[in-house]
Amino acid sequence: MTMEIGATSSESPGYQMNPGSHLRNPTGRYNVLSARVTGYLIFCGAVCCVILAIAQIVLESGIGRYGSGIWCSALVFIPCGVVGIISSYKKNANLIIAYLVLSILTAAGSGGVMIVSAISASATGRCYESDWQYDCCSKSTWIGRIVSDSMLSIVCLLEMIIAIVAASYCCSGLCCTCCGADIKPIQEVQEPTDVKKQSLEHA
């Protein structure tokens, strides 16, 4: 006994997607409010890093001479915050990608400055406990060095966390749109009634 198989549609059933459409239209899942908030927070954190780095230079702390907080803020942190704020008003794929890249660089840079500042604060504290009275500076200056290094380390820790959150929102706006916004529903292919009758007659 043989049975003929009915004709199917030229398009295979299942999900039908338009490749690359999620990059051309990333506005579906991009969280504008989150981008704006993280952008402002990153920008404010960068300003705090510059202020604390200047304090390190004035107090002549262990890493103050290098100005790491100033360089990282000027080259990465501030541009990242500005691009994040602009991307919340102009939902453009290029701006979102730029914000994603700068957020990753901000997380990496702030993590490095955080570690170096914590090490400097710890080393300065040990020197203060042992032989601060033999140094040319006063006790208040030593305390100021420890406080400035510690505060910069804390600010960079917060900056790193916010940058990671910002990068995740950028990914949800770019990478995840293709999984929900541009997917067409499944089309069921039904076998024509005439084909079923012919199959039963030949059986």
Q: What is the pTM of this model?
A: 0.69
Nearest to 159 by CA among 21, 39, 19: 39
- 131-138, long-range: CB < 8 A, 24+ apart: 137/60
3-state secondary structure of 139: helix
**Weakest-pLDDT range from 51-65, 90-104, 150-164:** 51-65
Q: Encode pLDDT of 80-122 as tens digits.
A: 999 999 998 888 888 999 999 999 999 999 999 999 999 888 8
Distance, in Å, from the CA atom of 142 to the CA atom of 134, rounded to the nearest integer, reads 12
pLDDT at 12: 40
What proportion of the chain, given as a percentage, has pLDDT over 90? Answer: 37
pLDDT at 92: 83
pLDDT at 181: 45
* Backbone phi and psi for residue 80, each to the nearest 5 degrees, phi listed first: -65, -45
pLDDT at 110: 94
What kind and span of H or E run contains 115? helix 93-131
For residue 3, count CB atoms less than 10 angstroms from its CB and return exposed for 0-12, middle for 13-18, buried for 19 or more: exposed
What is the mean pLDDT of the segment spanning 53-73? 86
